[in-house]
């Protein structure tokens, strides 16, 4: 067995040189972040001891500090032997929470450490980092410093992020810390940033920059190397075509570009405003000119991204009835992983809500200590207290969106614990909980998302009709079965006895079910004749897909008047997902997916709810809200929905793609897929060829063409893969958005990782034309 030892200690003089060099590097990064002289950031750079908490019996002191790149946090174990120096990136942090807010700190620590405790939560499935500082003041400095760092890193322009990243990559390649780069270090640096080049190319590039012919690069030579590396040939071509005023782009030139290429109906004032906002050269700005650097900066701003900036905020009518919207919805929301033995956690609710999920599920069972719990019944999934879930939902429901949250109850509790469920929801959610109709008389339709802002709506069983709220008739309890048992579906048949157990329903719980009463579906005709607008059914995915395929128009009409919830089949024990698109095409509003499972279906779901301010509500097209609609997504006929578009796409290049494998020798061979989701005749997929050994700045200039017939229901997904001839391609990044939110012209496409979080500097560069075709 190989002995793992510490690195040899530096001499005092070497340590002093190393310390000075690190301070110099940190100073450059601190200035770039705009935090020069900030005491909290200086505190992070100095570091300090923190108590790391994993359980009641595992609490260890660790030394944490921010590295000189101002982007990496490192800690050193107090062991004499260690296998590595653990680190994590600030970009991977989702949030920093003060106090004992996580389940781990609440369970494994006492209240007296409240002021000294804080937690770091990550965007991926990585476990929370629960920490305790030695004093309240130090805890505040850690929290404040990290929050400042996250905020300022997020505010960097894409160009500044590139400069920051390349500067620190160069620093890592400079093994002897002499601020010089030899040929060997240059090749190591190129591999680090995801480029593999042959020896002749590396040598030629090195010699081109080595103006002094001394065998290494320094100062201006490294700057020249950086300029060559970050040169965007495709931007040069576009700029050169439109910069017609003495080699520069005048406001008139820029306006011509915006009108012709970007298809923007803007005037000269708009072009002048862009120059004022993005031109970096003060002399060019004074002359009302845009330089090439300003032009590149423009492309990295919201105007230069593929998502229409006017769709980034809430732009749709939010005063329509609730059932006129697609609603971002989660299934088994409490689970962090699979539904057989995965952990349940309040953190899962928090993550879903922060991703603008507006309908969460609570599977409620009797707890052994008299308190109702949430878990996936008859499985090995862990349990959480119902009241803890409601507390977490209350705190995080409206962080991303102000629009209403639906609590979908799957109730298996005894009457006594049902009363506690009602009591917890009423006491914790308070006036935000809808406990009676908004009107003083029996409503005839749903209230709107606008009317329900920052309110909670309960979906579950009810003892009587909503009309009885306005009469003196009283009900106490009656036999019911759970919602998914009553639907006649088999989601739970693999995890419980075949014979359904009847439950009594408590009046206290029944009374707070107002607009979303769960009922069995007996067919479209029965629903139309016998059900109130507020009475809704849940459908297992297989049944829903069959209805969407065989009776799509009837399903659409059902969803014009009622709400429908779709949920995954019970056989999906790995918490995988089904394709939500056919259900949206049939007007289904609450298409519930397993948010805890990264997959293409979740990418599409995130893309559907990307616009409209991440509100979690998307207004359905008019033909999915019109009672006279003849629309059928399966057998497409002529109508207002049919708006044939010719979609021209050029995938030009990519920038700073991440490595799939972090080994130095591993370089991405990227290809780009463009996928269309929508009605059957719109579904399509095309791919570029792969580029060998270049994830930093690959170029394709690949042209694709698609026909889109129902644009209001179409989504476009860009997916980058690492080509592998011997096995399946590996996922690199993706971005999905509605077809109607795409901007024409030259634009950057940001890329998200498999968890749906932004890859800080990675993007595609594309050109798009959308042409109206004769009907």
pLDDT in tens, 665-679: 678 999 999 999 999
Q: Which residues pair with 647 in a beta bridge?
A: 706, 770
Domain co-membership, 140 together with 186: no
pLDDT averaged over every residue in the chain: 88
DSSP string spanning 18-54? HHHHHHHHHHHHHHHTT-TT-HHHHHHHH-EEEEEES
How many structural domains does the chain have? 5
Q: Quick one: 373 and 492 in the same domain? A: yes
Report whether 363 belongs to an annotated binding site.
yes
Give me the pLDDT at residue 665, please. Answer: 63
**648 labelled catalytic:** no
Q: How confident is the model at residue 204 (pLDDT cuts 50, 70, 90)?
A: confident
What confidence tens digit (pLDDT) does each residue in 339-353 have?
A: 888 899 999 999 999
Catalytic status, residue 376 = yes
- Residue 40 marked ligand-binding: no
- Consult the annotation and say whether 130 binds a ligand: no
Helix (H, G, I), strand (E, B) or coil at 12: helix
Phi/psi for 293 (5° steps) reads -65, -40
Question: Which SS3 state, helix, strand or coil, does residue 677 take?
Answer: strand
- Is 91 annotated as ligand-binding? no
Please check whether residues 400 and 516 belong to one and the same domain.
yes
Residue 475 shares a structural domain with residue 587: yes
151 annotated as ligand-binding: no
Pick from 274, 304, 334: which residue ends a domain? Answer: 304
The CA dihedral of 460, 461, 463, 466, to the nearest 10 degrees, is 40
Q: Tell me: the pLDDT tens digits for 9-26? A: 445 554 454 455 567 677
Residue range of the domain that includes 116: 12-155
* CB 309 within 8 Å of CB 549: no
Q: Is-contact 678 713, C-beta < 8 A?
A: yes
Residue 490: the pLDDT is 42
> Across the strands, what pairs with 768?
649, 745
In this structure, the answer to whether residues 197 and 244 fall within a common structural domain is no
Note whether 172 and 145 are same-domain residues. no
* Contact predicate 134/49, CB 8 Å: yes
Coarse DSSP helix, strand, coil percentages of the chain, rounded to the nearest 5 percent: 35, 25, 40
- pLDDT, tens digit (0-9, with 9 covering 90-100), for 357-389: 999 999 999 999 999 999 999 889 999 999 999
Is residue 96 left, alpha or beta, with left meaning phi > 0 and alpha meaning psi from -120 to 50? beta
* Least confident among 64-73, 155-164, 564-573: 155-164
Does residue 291 share a domain with residue 226?
no
CATH code of the domain covering residue 752:
2.60.40.150
User: At 209, which CATH number?
Assistant: 1.10.238.10
Q: Is 640 annotated as a binding residue?
A: no
Q: Looking at residue 199, what is its pLDDT?
A: 77
Question: Is residue 6 marked as binding?
Answer: no
In degrees and rounded to multiples of 5, residue 771 shows phi and psi of -115, 140
- Please give the pLDDT value at position 82: 47
**Residue 318 included in any domain:** no
Closest CA to 222 of 236, 205, 197: 205
pTM of this structure? 0.87
365 annotated as ligand-binding: no
Among the candidates 121, 139, 155, a domain finishes at: 155
Q: Is 55 labelled as part of a ligand binding site?
A: yes
Three state DSSP letters for 350-374: HHHHHCCCCEEEEEEECCCCCCCEE
Query: Is the distance from CB of 288 to CB of 269 less than 8 angstroms?
Result: no
- Any idea which of 19-28, 31-40, 127-136, 735-744 has the lowest mean pLDDT? 19-28
Which residue out of 311, 376, 412, 557 is catalytically annotated?
A: 376
- Pair (100, 178) in one structural domain: no
CA–CA dist 415, 475 (Å, integer): 14
Pairing relationship of beta strands 535-540 and 129-132 according to DSSP bridges: unpaired
Q: Residue 419 burial by CB count (10 A; 0-12/13-18/19+): exposed, middle or buried?
A: middle
Instruction: Summarize pLDDT for 601-660 with one digit per residue, the tens.
Output: 999 999 999 999 999 999 999 999 999 999 999 999 999 999 999 999 999 999 989 888
Question: Does residue 459 have a known ligand-binding role?
Answer: yes
Is 530 marked as binding a ligand?
Answer: no
pLDDT in tens, 453-466: 999 999 999 999 99
Q: Any known ligand binding at 53?
A: yes
Instruction: Measure Cα distances from 665 to 175, 188, 300, 695 in Å.
Output: 17, 9, 30, 13
| Catalytic member of 164, 311, 324, 331 | 331
Q: Encoding tokens for residue 133?
A: 């500082």
Are 64 and 120 in contact, with CB atoms under 8 Å apart?
no
């Amino acid at each position: 067995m190989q002995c793992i030892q510490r690195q040899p200690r530096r001499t005092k003089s070497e340590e002093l040189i190393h310390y000075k060099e690190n301070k110099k590097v940190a100073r450059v990064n601190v200035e770039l972040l705009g935090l020069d002289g900030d005491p909290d950031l200086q505190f992070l750079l100095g570091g300090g001891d923190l108590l790391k908490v994993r359980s009641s019996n595992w609490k260890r002191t660790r030394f944490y500090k921010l590295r000189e790149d101002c982007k990496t946090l490192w800690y050193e174990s107090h062991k004499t032997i260690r296998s590595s120096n653990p680190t994590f990136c600030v970009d991977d942090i989702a949030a920093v929470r003060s106090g004992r807010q996580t389940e781990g700190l609440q369970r494994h620590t006492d209240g007296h450490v409240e002021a000294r405790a804080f937690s770091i939560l990550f965007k991926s499935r990585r476990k929370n980092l629960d920490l305790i500082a030695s004093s309240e003041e130090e805890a505040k400095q850690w929290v404040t410093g990290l929050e400042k760092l996250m905020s300022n890193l997020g505010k960097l322009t894409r160009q500044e992020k590139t400069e920051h990243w390349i500067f620190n990559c160069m620093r890592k390649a400079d093994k002897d810390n002499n601020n010089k780069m030899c040929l060997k270090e240059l090749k190591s640096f190129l591999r680090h940033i995801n480029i593999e080049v042959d020896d002749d190319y590396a040598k030629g590039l090195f010699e081109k920059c080595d103006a002094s012919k001394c065998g290494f690069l320094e100062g201006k030579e490294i700057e020249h190397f950086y300029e060559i590396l970050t040169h965007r040939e495709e931007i040069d071509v576009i700029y050169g075509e439109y910069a017609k005023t003495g080699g520069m782009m005048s406001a008139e030139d820029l306006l011509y570009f915006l009108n012709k290429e970007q298809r923007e109906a803007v005037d000269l004032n708009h072009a002048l405003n862009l120059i004022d906002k993005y031109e970096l050269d003060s002399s060019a700005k004074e002359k009302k000119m845009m330089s090439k650097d300003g032009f590149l900066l423009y492309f990295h701003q919201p105007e230069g991204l593929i998502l229409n900036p006017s769709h980034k905020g809430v732009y749709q009518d939010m005063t329509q009835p609730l059932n006129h919207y697609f609603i971002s919805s989660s299934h088994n929301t409490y689970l962090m992983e699979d539904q057989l033995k995965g952990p349940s956690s309040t953190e899962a609710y928090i993550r879903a809500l922060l991703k603008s999920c507006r309908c969460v599920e609570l599977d409620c069972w009797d707890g052994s200590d008299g308190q109702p719990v949430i878990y996936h019944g008859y499985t090995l999934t862990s349990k959480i207290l119902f009241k803890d879930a409601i507390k977490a939902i209350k705190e995080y429901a409206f962080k991303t969106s102000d629009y209403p949250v639906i609590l979908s109850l799957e109730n298996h509790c005894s009457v006594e614990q049902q009363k506690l469920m009602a009591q917890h929801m009423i006491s914790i959610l308070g006036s935000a909980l809808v406990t009676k109709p908004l009107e003083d008389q029996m409503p005839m339709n749903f209230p709107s998302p606008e009317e329900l802002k920052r309110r909670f709506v309960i979906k579950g069983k009810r003892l009587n009709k909503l009309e009885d709220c306005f009469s003196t008739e009283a009900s106490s309890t009656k036999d019911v079965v759970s919602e998914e048992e009553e639907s006649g579906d088999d989601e739970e048949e693999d995890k419980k006895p075949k014979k359904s157990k009847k439950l009594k329903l408590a009046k206290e719980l029944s009374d707070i079910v107002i607009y979303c009463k769960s009922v069995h579906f007996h067919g479209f005709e029965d629903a139309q004749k016998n059900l109130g607008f507020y009475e809704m059914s849940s459908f297992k995915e297989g049944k829903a897909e069959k209805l969407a395929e065989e009776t799509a128009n009837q399903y659409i009409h059902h969803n014009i008047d009622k709400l429908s919830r779709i949920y995954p089949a019970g056989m999906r024990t790995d918490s995988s997902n089904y394709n939500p698109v056919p259900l949206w095409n049939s007007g289904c509003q609450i298409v519930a997916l397993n948010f805890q499972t990264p997959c293409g279906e979740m990418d599409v779901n995130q893309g559907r709810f990307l616009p409209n301010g991440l509100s979690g509500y998307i207004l359905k097209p008019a033909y999915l809200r019109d009672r006279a609609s003849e629309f059928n997504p399966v057998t497409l006929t002529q109508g207002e929905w049919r708006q044939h578009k010719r979609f021209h796409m050029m995938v030009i290049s990519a920038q700073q793609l991440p490595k799939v494998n972090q080994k130095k020798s591993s370089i991405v061979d990227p290809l780009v897929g463009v996928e269309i989701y929508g009605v059957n005749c719109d579904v399509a997929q095309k791919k570029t060829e792969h580029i060998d050994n270049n994830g930093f700045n690959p170029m394709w200039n690949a042209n694709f063409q698609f026909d889109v017939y129902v644009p209001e229901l179409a989504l476009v997904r860009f997916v980058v893969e690492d080509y592998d001839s011997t096995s399946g391609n590996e996922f690199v990044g993706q971005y999905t958005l509605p077809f109607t939110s795409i901007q024409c012209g030259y634009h950057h496409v940001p890329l998200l990782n498999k968890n749906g979080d932004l890859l800080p500097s990675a993007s595609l560069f594309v050109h798009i034309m959308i042409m109206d075709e004769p009907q």
